[in-house]
Structure 1
């Protein structure tokens, strides 16, 4: 599998970008409706509530960003038509003129300033967006279409990080909470679609924004449906009830490719599927971990790097890729695909070594192993619960008798945010295409004031790694920054701060007459679907 290295130096450090839409509007002969079936469950219409791909995919229909990344994860202009580094600690963004909110009001720099203040401070967020704006120390509104963002130190990644912040209006958003977005009262954006209705756990209905600044989309109405069951998504597109589906089940890919009524598109993914252990408590949660006889343990075994390494090398990743994922994933020892910026070729896929795992457990004081519960969502990632079951069998063979607790995504996410799991299966898509995204949000020490560790629900903390990440983020030279990030990748591996499993391949299926542009960030949006 070949991945394209992202040209970060060109994308991030250019003084000016052309003022052109990322996607040119296209004239279509007739209006049509589109029905999409997704496998991941969105949990809110609040664009700053939860940094999770299903939520972002959903709200991208309503809200735009200053910058955005295309299907190949390349940075593009959006609400900001150009930007430049005025100095090492100041970025200036020129905003697009004539953009209207869905209620007809003008989009201005004041809306951007309001968004930056709100995005990291949404109450009860299970994983927020603070990491994307952590570098900003001051926001300066120069005029209605010019804004300057000041940072404490050089921060070349800021234009890329802002591609993950959806812009909301001050006049609607001020005083509005997540419940106001979910009720539709505050779900007023500048995006290509307007909200018609939102039914959590079921579907969202959109109507085309005829005044969209890029030009009207071809779909008059979009029905965006959550279809958790793999077989139901396949049946829906075969029956013609769904026009586009994502997370095409691995068991059905070959069959759908043979069907002349359908097209299957695919692209290497930026998403890693991995396991994370708990660092939040010195003792162990008795429901989740106990000794081999079922008695509570005096200490949390996950705090011992030898235990974490034992669990890692007990896993046969190639078997997971071949038998569970059926060739739709690639074993990995890190969180970026080969060829991408800051991928570290020295960090190899951990070798399957069950005997070595048993020795490490004995060295750590667990010669008889222990009992463990592995939590996993059962409706979020391709074959998520099947993967967890396979891992549980591998762990049980080295003496860590493992049972699996498979949960719906909404329940899993809520419990995960409260640090209720000692071991869990998770996924993370590095949408910036480089290592700092995961270093800041997953491995960064949880700190609301510094806006690090926003999704660090296991509460891993390594001050040395934090310092290295900060140093890399402030390094302007691309080559030097890459070396620092690669060093951080190696440190995560040495610590076994996580247990990486495999990198996904993203699949979509569409009905005849519709094309879909596959995205490395796995987001499923009506804007990627076009009538042929």
Structure 2
């Protein structure tokens, strides 16, 4: 048992037990900071997780990633380019005003108006070229071309009150002034970097949540998060440190929920045709060309990584080696794509073939407070690359700094985790040729582009036949991953720890929803 955990367990046993107040307050330790309460400003998981408590979407997904009715009780494709959504009747916002079609249309328009967003939601709305309210509870949406996955797109757009937010800025949401939704909880307080307080919305159309109050405590470091759970300061923690999972499973005071999640951890690789910022020759001087733009170099990097050992040791078994950029079971996952075999000798041969027999110098970048064992992953891969002659340094940064710099293309090789419920969605966002107007490549940090892969993804997105759509998605993935557009590492296993007497289904999307944590 790690010494740190032993000390924490001793302290917990000496503490006075605190009984859960039934249906009173639930305290949850979050592993990542919430940077904005504006549900349309930044498309990252911590913000989406919080927004899901305050707002609803037209279409929702259950714990297994299946689409289920949300604010739209039903929807249908009228023809290949026309969709009709029927809203639930009797839904009211937190201020008591009724939900209408105008609120929905306003919410669908708003992401495109936030031009300063560092991670826009526009990829989910750009396909809509016309929209109208047929009546207060029916909307019609039109796309320029046939577009089968529109309902899945709309599961990512939160519906907000037009009256409360028509002239609001992102900071007006953080203050609570514009934070008026239809979700299971209402806003009660926000101390940036510390906690968010919510109060139950007794009028929620989905039924009353089991908790009158919820406090989300932001504890990004694993050890303090675990300490808070053991001391009884929180009732639930997400992202349990891998060394401590087995000990908590054996402790009768806690229960552990786990799920192979939708999140794939992979490397984005700078493929721009110019010197890359964190690559130099062995003498420290800038290179005339970017070696990472050569597919042989990217493949050598992939071959140098022993994924099975990384999963067994660095991830302590709480991951699955990846060959796809989506997880097994997700629409479009391709079993024909094999996990890259560990072959350091072959990697050295490829480097020599590409003109780098003596390697080069490279700095790997990653976050140190976002993914399970993220800093350890970066350090482990650096060791593997050094063994094939790529002299590798490591720089990890807090998420609040890391994402902004990575999206600007400041790094050469950067770690990213991504979850999606469909392969064509992930491909469009992660490896689609960047096109801000079309909403493609919004997280394509390496600036990869392949017209053939793009064409397959477009064909997938444009198909209303699910078999054809999946076939095109798999073809697009094979083309992009065949060129090492990104370098997959593993699919993350999500782990939650809860005080005895609580249960949680464990969601494939890794979200921690207070209204789905139940007393037993």
- Into which bin does the TM-score normalised by the smaller protein fall? over 0.9
Q: For the residues of structure 1 that align with 2:442 and 2:137, how far apart are their CA atoms? A: 30
* Bigger shift: residues 332-341 or 249-258: 332-341
Q: Is the 8 A contact 2:269 2:445 kept in 1?
A: no
Q: How far off is 1:281 after superposition?
A: 5.3
Matches within 5 A, 1:226-245: 226-245=218-237
Identify which of 111, 114, 134 aligns with 2:103.
Answer: 111
Identify which of 449, 452, 459 aligns with 2:437.
Answer: 449
Q: Is the 8 A contact 1:292 1:371 kept in 2?
A: yes
Q: For the residues of structure 1 that align with 2:208 and 2:135, how far apart are their CA atoms? A: 28
Q: For the residues of structure 1 that align with 2:437 and 2:162, how far apart are their CA atoms? A: 23
Q: How far off is 1:150 after superposition?
A: 0.4
Q: Is the 8 A contact 1:64 1:167 kept in 2?
A: yes
Identify which of 415, 425, 430 aligns with 2:415.
Answer: 425
Q: For the residues of structure 1 that align with 2:77 and 2:468, how far apart are their CA atoms? A: 19
Q: For the residues of structure 2 that align with 1:340 and 1:380, how far apart are their CA atoms? A: 22
Q: For the residues of structure 1 that align with 2:88 and 2:328, how far apart are their CA atoms? A: 36
Matched, 1:400 2:390: yes
Q: For the residues of structure 2 that align with 1:248 and 1:490, how far apart are their CA atoms? A: 34
Q: Is the 8 A contact 1:128 1:455 kept in 2?
A: no
Look up the match of 1:296: 286
Look up the match of 1:253: 245
Q: Is the 8 A contact 1:50 1:127 kept in 2?
A: yes
Identify which of 494, 500, 503 aligns with 2:482.
Answer: 494
Matched, 1:361 2:351: yes
- CA distance 1:195–1:394, shift in 2 (3 Å): same
Q: How far off is 1:58 after superposition?
A: 0.9
Q: Is the 8 A contact 1:130 1:452 kept in 2?
A: no
Q: Is the 8 A contact 2:270 2:447 kept in 1?
A: yes
Look up the match of 1:471: 459
- Given the two structures, how large is their TM-score scaled by the length of structure 1? 0.92
Q: For the residues of structure 1 that align with 2:394 and 2:192, how far apart are their CA atoms? A: 27
Q: How far off is 1:222 after superposition?
A: 0.6
Q: How far off is 1:302 after superposition?
A: 1.4
Look up the match of 1:519: 507
Matched, 1:347 2:337: yes
* Bigger shift: residues 448-457 or 334-343: 334-343
Look up the match of 1:3: none
Q: How far off is 1:262 after superposition?
A: 0.4
Identify which of 240, 245, 255 aligns with 1:263.
Answer: 255
Matches within 5 A, 1:115-514: 115-280=107-272, 282-285=274-277, 288-430=278-420, 432=421, 434-514=422-502
Q: How far off is 1:193 after superposition?
A: 0.9
Q: How far off is 1:198 after superposition?
A: 1.3
Q: For the residues of structure 2 that align with 1:225 and 1:280, how far apart are their CA atoms? A: 40
Q: For the residues of structure 2 that align with 1:160 and 1:256, how far apart are their CA atoms? A: 36
Please list every run of at least 4 consecutive aligned residues from structure 1 whose deviation after the TM superposition is greater than 6 angstroms: none
CA RMSD of aligned residues (A): 1.3
Q: For the residues of structure 1 that align with 2:164 and 2:309, how far apart are their CA atoms? A: 51
Q: For the residues of structure 2 that align with 1:30 and 1:395, how far apart are their CA atoms? A: 52
Q: For the residues of structure 2 that align with 1:170 and 1:249, how far apart are their CA atoms? A: 42
Structure 2 unaligned residues grouped into runs of 5+: 1-20
Q: Is the 8 A contact 1:274 1:426 kept in 2?
A: yes
- Given the two structures, how large is their TM-score scaled by the length of structure 2? 0.94
- CA distance 1:304–1:109, shift in 2 (3 Å): same
Q: For the residues of structure 2 that align with 1:156 and 1:437, how far apart are their CA atoms? A: 12
Q: How far off is 1:105 after superposition?
A: 1.4
Q: How far off is 1:187 after superposition?
A: 1.4
Structure 1 unaligned residues grouped into runs of 5+: 1-28
Q: For the residues of structure 2 that align with 1:330 and 1:162, how far apart are their CA atoms? A: 29
Q: Is the 8 A contact 1:130 1:454 kept in 2?
A: no
Look up the match of 2:70: 78
